[in-house]
Structure 1
Amino acid sequence: MDRLRFDLSPTRILAAEITADTGQSAGAIRVAGVHRGVGASAIWLGKVSNEPAYRSVPHHHAEAETAGYVFKGRARIYFGEGYRDYYDLEEGDFVHVPPWMPHIECNRSADAELVWMTARTPDNLVVNLDDVDLPPSEYTT
């Protein structure tokens, strides 16, 4: 009982207060809701979207551990040597991306937006890597 803190309160972040002033990768748009700028010390929570038939450039999140939830749309995440491995994800699916793992996030739809809810610890670290040839015809259906 001695760990309870009644002198604290949660931080409310309104939709009008979310910011795109966070790490980005071409082809993906990240907006931050919970982050260090609002008082979080060890978690980042935000929304990531890819326009129809778009993909992120290859990237990793340094020491950040990442959890993603496909809120809307159909995704593909490439990983592994030469980005030859991939998982397809549908609305309601989750994915865990380990620290330092290079990957590419794709929107498999040619006409609908892809929206992820993403959490990272300790923060939204984004390290963009050299791009690879991966045309939309490889991942859109």
Structure 2
Amino acid sequence: MHDSGDDHTHPHAHDEAHEPGAPERWKHDGVRVIPGDRLDANTAQTPGMFRQAAVNAARVGAQKIWAGTVAIQPDAKTGVHHHGELESVIYVVSGRARMRWGDKLEYVAEAGPGDFIFVPPFVPHQEINASTDEPLHCVLVRSDNEAVVVNLPDVEAAETPETVYWVDPIHRHP
């Protein structure tokens, strides 16, 4: 036993939620569970793509993150772009995603079910459904609620979106 003069009963700063009789502060402003069958399809939709929000400012009050699902039809491709300061994470649920990136899209990688894709800020890239006959289903998480897309028309697409453009509210038709 040490004798520091501290009886370990000194007052601590407590959240008001822990104080006796305090309102249930975190009951409605705390953790949220968003059931998979209750995602918000009230987003801009484009033929060939079905996008749903799970976490955003409107649904749960998120200030610094956006998360949702996206289903992309076979052979769809974006134009070349970057997302400014945003960081993005794509989790592949089913299908095959191909990413091309670099100043001339000189790098390529593919991801399948269970794989994560991280897209750092300002990286020029092109997103591609690598399958010509299967849809691509992903979960998308962005580091901000505001969608940012900077199209790069001076960079030639590695795979021309001649069949189907991957178009959604942040990926516009060139």
Against the structure 1 CA distance between its residues 119 and 61, is the aligned structure 2 distance closer, same or farther, given a 3 Å change threshold? Answer: same
Q: Number of residue pairs matched?
A: 136
Specify the alignment match of 1:7 in structure 2.
Answer: 25
Specify the alignment match of 1:62 in structure 2.
Answer: 84
Which structure 2 residues correspond to residues 1-141 of structure 1 after superposition, within 5 A? 2=14, 6-8=24-26, 9=28, 10-11=31-32, 13=34, 15-19=37-41, 21=43, 30-38=51-59, 39-129=61-151, 130=153, 132-133=156-157, 134-135=159-160
1:105 positional shift: 0.9
Aligned equivalents of 1:101, 1:71: Cα separation in 2: 23
Is the 1:31–1:46 Cα contact (8 Å) retained in structure 2? yes
Q: Which has the higher contact order (CA 8 A, sep 6+)?
A: 1
Is the 2:100–2:126 Cα contact (8 Å) retained in structure 1? yes
Could you tell me the TM-score, scaled by structure 2's length? 0.65
Whichever of the two has the greater Rg, that structure is 2
Could you tell me the TM-score, scaled by structure 1's length? 0.78
More strand by share: 1
Is the 1:61–1:124 Cα contact (8 Å) retained in structure 2? no
Q: Which letter maps to 1:113? A: P
Calculate percent identity across the aligned residue pairs. 31
Aligned equivalents of 2:148, 2:47: Cα separation in 1: 11
Aligned equivalents of 1:28, 1:99: Cα separation in 2: 24
Please, which runs of 5 or more residues in structure 1 have no aligned partner?
none
Against the structure 1 CA distance between its residues 46 and 62, is the aligned structure 2 distance closer, same or farther, given a 3 Å change threshold? Answer: same
Aligned equivalents of 2:117, 2:85: Cα separation in 1: 17
Is the 2:39–2:52 Cα contact (8 Å) retained in structure 1? no
Please, which runs of 5 or more residues in structure 2 have no aligned partner?
1-12, 18-23, 163-174
Against the structure 1 CA distance between its residues 33 and 114, is the aligned structure 2 distance closer, same or farther, given a 3 Å change threshold? Answer: same
